[in-house]
A and B are shown apart, each in its own frame.
Chain A
Amino acid sequence: MIRVYAFVHEAARVPEIAGVDGAPIEQHGRGVSAVVSRHERAAAGDPRHEAVAHGLVVEALASVNDAVLPVRFGETFADNQALDAILRDRDDEIRATLARVCGCVELGVRVAGAVPQRAAAAAESGTGYMEARLALLAERDTVVHGLHDELRALARDAVQSERGGFEGAYLVERPRIEAAYEVVQRFTAAHRELTIVCTGPWAPYSFGGTRA
């Protein structure tokens, strides 16, 4: 079984790091190549440990290469033939995406706020609570949009989602990372009522989709 971690250019540097289950990693393919490890059979370990091992390989690759395209954890192929078929089919797309993310990192931002607690503290009646809560949510949205707009302006690309709280990912050219951190720090200092968590730099996990 072959596990795939990421796509890189053939000339990429592959750091000395073990993959899932301690298996050695290697490059496979010409032009665009896959970074893979080979296994006798599917590992039966804790999938979270395997996921972390996968992620550490991707981050190690991204730390020494300009263009790394992370592959979702769990993609496995029976043999070289099956993997080569995918590499052939997706060659143009992978090449284009590698060019799009080249020289960039991904920064992640999550915003959570203790809206219900603050609304409860501010209100004495049920109606008052709902009004306070709506006002606080609107306030949070204004801050989040401001933060997102400023980061998006600095980034080559940006994606956002709401999963119980705001979540943004920004594809930032390396020389602009500090500027992005400064934006986050300014918002964090100005809005103590919200929890703003910025993580990264990551490999560009959120920018591997097929988009024009």
Chain B
Amino acid sequence: MTVSHPTPLHEQITLLELVDRVLNKGVVLTGDITLSVADVDLVYVGLRVLLASVATLEEAA
């Protein structure tokens, strides 16, 4: 039986890209955003790590 596995790495990238857009893009109305800088930084750290993982996987392939 063939099972097609979703690719968790790409799903994670999509999720982080979504969060990146939601936090940093989109129309600003009041500029009074309740999120801390640390939360936003986490998104970028995650993105960089994931991109590095993809690069490593593709080099190994």
Contacts and interface: CB of A to CB of B under 8 A. Distances in A.
Contact of B25 (A52, A72, A90, A165): A72
Contacts, number: 106
Interface stretch (A22-30, A106-114, A138-146, A178-186): A106-114
A172 B58 CA distance: 28
Interface stretch (A11-19, A129-137, A201-209): A201-209
B51 A58 contact: no
How many chain A residues sit at the interface, stated as a range, is 35 or more
A24 B32 CA distance: 23
A90 B22 CA distance: 20
Interface in A40-60: 42, 47-48, 51-52, 54-56, 58-59
B51 A52 contact: no
Contact of A114 (B18, B19, B36, B55): B55
Contacts of B32: 75-76
B33 interface: yes
A51 B51 CA distance: 21
B51 A197 contact: yes
A104 B9 CA distance: 27
Interface residues of B, number: 33
A54 B24 CA distance: 13
Contacts of A56: 18
A59 B58 CA distance: 29
A160 interface: no
Chain A contact residues, majority secondary structure: mixed
Contacts of B33: 72-75
A4 interface: yes
Nearest to B14: A199
A104 B21 CA distance: 16
A72 B33 CA distance: 9
Given A51-B19, A75-B29, 4 more contacts: A70-B25, A74-B33, A205-B26, A206-B25
18 contacts: A42-B34, A48-B43, A51-B22, A51-B23, A52-B15, A58-B22, A71-B26, A71-B27, A72-B24, A72-B26, A72-B27, A72-B29, A72-B33, A73-B35, A75-B30, A112-B55, A163-B44, A202-B21
Interface of B: 13-15, 17-19, 21-30, 32-36, 39, 42-44, 47-48, 51-52, 54-55, 58-59
